[in-house]
Amino acid sequence: MNLSQIKHFKIILNTWYNKLKKKIKKQVYYIKKETDNLADPIDRASREEEFKLELYNKKRERELIKKIEITINKIKNNSFGYCELCKIEIGIKRLEANPIANLCIDCKILSEIKEKQIRQN
Domain locations in the chain as residue ranges: 1-80, 81-121
Tell me 111's DSSP state.
Answer: H
Task: Report the distance separating Cα 70 and Cα 76, nearest Å.
Answer: 10
In CATH, the number for domain 1-80 is: 1.20.120.910
| Residues 107, 113, 114, 120, Cα dihedral to 10° | 170
Per DSSP, helices labelled H in the chain are 3-34, 41-76, 92-97, 105-120
Per-residue pLDDT tens, the chain, 121 aa: give them. Answer: 899 999 999 999 999 999 999 988 887 766 666 655 667 778 778 878 888 888 888 899 999 999 999 999 999 999 999 999 999 999 999 999 999 999 999 999 999 999 999 999 7
Do residues 62 and 24 lie in contact, with contact meaning Cβ atoms separated by under 8 Å?
Answer: yes
pTM here? 0.80
